Amino acid sequence: MESAPPPEDPFAAMDPEMAAHPQPVFRMLRESMPVIPVEDRGVALTRRADVEEVFRHPEVFSSNADAVDLQNIRPLIPLQIDPPEHKKYRKLLDPIFAPREVAKLEESLTASVNELIDRFAERGEVDFSAEFSTLFPTRVFLNLLGLPVDELPHFLALKDGIIRPQVAVGSTFGSPETLAHQKQTADAIYAYFDKVLDEREVERRDDLLSRFLDASVDGQRLTREDILDICFLFLIAGLDTVTASLAGMSAPRADPPAPRRLVADDPSLVPSAIEELLRWETPVMGVVRVAVQDTEISGCPVHEGDMVMVMLSSVNTDEAELPDADVVRFDREANRHLAFGGGVHRCLGSHLARLELRVALREWHRRIPEYAVADGHTLAYTSGIRSIDHFPMTFPTS
C-alpha cells in the first residue's frame, strides 16, 4: 500500500472498497502527497493543518453555490452563503438548534426509537439500514417540520434524487441523465415546500415551518425564497448523515469490538463512543470549497475558480492532531474531530445529530445488546457519504 501511487482524483477513487476502509489510503496520501493536484478541478487536501487554514478563511475559500451544484435555483441557506451575510442567517437558526433547545426533543426521540425497535424485536433479525437507521432520522426531520410521517418514502426519494441520482437512473454521477434527474428532483422539492408554506400561511402550527414564517433577521422577515432555500438544505442534510453514522457505528470492527460490548455494559460511554466513531468512521468523507482568488496551500498554487476538496476522513485520522489517531478509543478526554466540518460553515445541526445518535445507540444497546451481520453477508459502503444501504442483522430474542 505504501508504494502505490496516489490516485489522480481522490473523489473518483472513493469506490466501495476504499469507502469500507479509507484510513490506510489517506495515511499514504498524507505521507506522500498531502496536497493533491486534481486535473481540471483544483486540489484535494488530506492534512489537518491545511484544512484548518481553509476553514479559517471563507473570504478566500468560499462555500458558495459554485462549490457544490445540487441543481438548486439559489444558494442554500446558510451553507452556500458566505460572511458577512452568513452571520445574519446563523443568528436566526443557531438558537433553534442550540443544545438547550435540542435537549427538549430527547423524550420524543426515545419514544420514536423504541417504537421502531418494537416492530422487529421479537423477530431476531432486521435490515438495520432499511428498518432503523434510515427511518429514525427521517421521522425526526418530518416531525420537526410538521410533515406527515406517511410521506416518508417520498422524502427519501427526494433526498436520494439529489444525493444519489445515479442509482435512480442507472448512469454515472454527473452524466446528462443524472443531472436531469437532479434538476427534476430539485424542482419537486421547491414545489412541495412552496405548497406546504401556503398551508402554513393560512394556519400556523407548532413546527419549524411556522417559526420560519414568523421569524425575522435584523428586523427583516425571511422571504418565501429564503425559507425554501433553508428547507432544501434541511432535506438534503438532515436525512443522510445520521443514517450513515448509525450504520457505520454499528458495523463490526476488530479493534475495538463493535460498541455493543462496551456501551451495553456501560451506557455512560455512549457520548464519548459517538465522538470517537464520528472521528474514525466520518460519514461525510469530503466537502468542497472554491477559491475566489489566486492563493497557495502549503506551497501549492491554487487559482481563482479552483475547487478545494477537503478530505474530512483523512484529517480526522491525521497523526499531527492525534499521535494515536489510528487507534479507536472510547476514553478520549479531548476529541477535536472535524466530522461536522469547521469554521463559520460548521454543521448547523450538529447538536441535533449528536442527540439522535446518543438516543439511538443508548436505546438500541439497552434492548439489543448482542447482534451480528447476517451469516454470509458482506457490508458494502457507498462512496462520498459512507453509508450502508443493506445491513441484514441477526440478534438473540428474549
pLDDT of 1 = 30
pLDDT tens readout for residues 199-211: 999 999 999 999 9
Mean pLDDT lowest for which of 23-37, 47-61, 245-259, 337-351? 245-259
Per DSSP, what are the bridge partners of residue 302?
295
Cα separation of 143 and 137, whole Å? Answer: 10
- Interacting residues of 397 by C-beta distance below 8 A, sequence separation 6+: 121, 122, 123, 124
Of 8, 47, 2, 50, whose CA–CA distance to 28 is shortest? 2
| For range 47-73, the mean pLDDT | 95
Instruction: Look at residue 234 and tell me whether its pLDDT is greater than 50.
Output: yes
Cα separation of 363 and 351, whole Å? Answer: 18
pLDDT tens readout for residues 115-144: 999 999 999 999 999 999 999 999 999 999
* Sequential DSSP letters for 149-201: GGGHHHHHHHHHHHH-HHHHHTS-TTSHHHHHHHHHHHHHHHHHHHHHHHHHH
| For range 29-54, the mean pLDDT | 93
Cα separation of 388 and 383, whole Å? Answer: 10
Domains of the chain: 16-369+377-389 (1.10.630.10)
Instruction: Look at residue 73 and tell me whether its pLDDT is greater than 80.
Output: yes
| For range 359-383, the mean pLDDT | 92
pLDDT of 15 = 66
Of 279, 385, 280, 287, whose CA–CA distance to 337 is shortest? 279
pLDDT of 9 = 41
Cα separation of 356 and 140, whole Å? Answer: 8
Instruction: Look at residue 12 and tell me whether its pLDDT is greater than 60.
Output: no
Mean pLDDT lowest for which of 141-145, 151-155, 248-252, 257-261? 257-261
pTM of the model: 0.92
Cα separation of 248 and 67, whole Å? Answer: 27
Instruction: Look at residue 320 and tell me whether its pLDDT is greater than 60.
Output: yes
pLDDT tens readout for residues 171-187: 888 889 999 999 999 99
Of 150, 205, 146, 157, whose CA–CA distance to 181 is shortest? 157
| For range 228-257, the mean pLDDT | 84
CA angle 146, 349, 252 (to 5 degrees): 105
Most confident residue range from 170-179, 238-247, 357-366: 357-366
